[in-house]
Amino acid sequence: MDLFTLVSLILIIAMLIAAVVAAEIKDLLSAAIAMGIVSLIVSILFYILQAPDVAITEASIGAGLSLAIMIFAIKHTERWEK
């Protein structure tokens, strides 16, 4: 197993964990942040796979803006899922 595979494997497992957390957790703010983490890891993976264009886009939109928008939306409603 070379370094490349190892790093991707770790990242993918972390991504899966973050995705499950985002789906299961009752605290919506944490769920939003977990989704941001998924996007961040995806953008790192894109970068590793030599797709810088997609990586930039994913980082700025997925991890940055959509996270902010989601937090604004949570601010308008309630933080805890019932």
Q: Does 6 bind other proteins (CB under 8 A)?
A: no
Q: Does 82 bind other proteins (CB under 8 A)?
A: no
Question: Shortest Cβ distance from residue 6 to other proteins (Å)?
Answer: 15
Q: Quote the tokens at residue 78.
A: 């309630």
Which residues touch 32 (CB under 8 Å, ≥6 apart)? 22, 67, 70, 71, 74
Cα(35)–Cα(73) distance, integer angstroms: 14
Q: Which is nearer to other proteins, 10 or 65 (CB)?
A: 65
Residues 14-53 that bind other proteins (CB under 8 A): 51-53
